Amino acid sequence: MGVSTFAYGVISRASKLGVALLLTTTLAQAETVKIAALGDSLTAGYGLAQADGFVPQLQAWLQANGADVEIMNAGVSGDTTAGGLSRVGWTLTSDTDAMIVALGGNDYLRGLDPAVSRANLDGILAVGREAGVEMLLVGLTVGGNYGPAYKQEFEAMYAELASEYSIPLYPDFAAALRASGDMSGAMSAFLQADGIHPNAEGVSAIVAAMGPTVLDLVSAAQ
């Protein structure tokens, strides 16, 4: 074999190795499930260091439990369901595999008509279905300060929409805090000074409770 022939063989093998490595890297990247977490300040991590927010803690929990996942924080503090509807289209990029929808808290705080909130959530889920992404809807348990009829209609819209779209529902974002059985104690232990937003420990409790449901979402999206 001449020098030029030998050199050609080395280059050829190196080229094939490079292609193989590129394909392996591409396939590995393709296996990563990308989730958009569409929400408000609870999703955004209001008042917390970046690493302590809902999205970073949830991603860390999922990865610790074997999921190859990347979560995009699409939480905007103060956002209503109308705000979520206005931005869901560009939030769901072509590489998004799944979406968590956790909105409605600010609608409740403003006393908005549950029928309007329901229509907005319906629109968000319709966009997600059109995009072909797996979805998880996160509901809320609210107070009775607007009356029992309001509370019932507001809380029921999540289950109704989850059923209509045949998607999983996590009924209450703060379920882990309510599970303590002592909300006054939970407020001091798990909430920030405003009494609304969870602190780092509160987020950790929420993530531990919600994590298995999101793990199922990851599996469905793979």
Active site residue 197: yes
CB 121 within 8 A of CB 104: yes
Q: Is 141 in a helix, a strand, or coil? A: coil
Helices (runs of H) and strands (runs of E) counted in the chain = 10, 5
Measure CA 205 to chain center.
16
Q: How far apart are CA 78 and CA 159, in angstroms?
A: 23
Instruction: Respond yes or no: is residue 40 known to be catalytic.
Output: no
Question: Choosing from 40, 41, 117, 204, which is the catalytic residue?
Answer: 41
Q: Describe the crossing of helices 54-64 and 200-221 by its angle, rounded to 10 degrees.
A: 60
Say which residue the tokens 């292609």 belong to. Answer: 19
Q: Which of 40, 107, 197, 204 is catalytic?
A: 197
Q: How many CB atoms lie within 10 A of CB 176?
A: 20
CA–CA gap between residue 175 and residue 30 (Å, rounded):
33
Q: Is 170 helix (H, G, I), strand (E, B) or coil?
A: strand
Helix (H) or strand (E) holding 89: helix 81-91
Taking alpha carbons only, the member of 100, 103, 104 closest to residue 59 is 100
- DSSP letter, residue 102: E
Which amino acids are annotated catalytic?
41, 194, 197
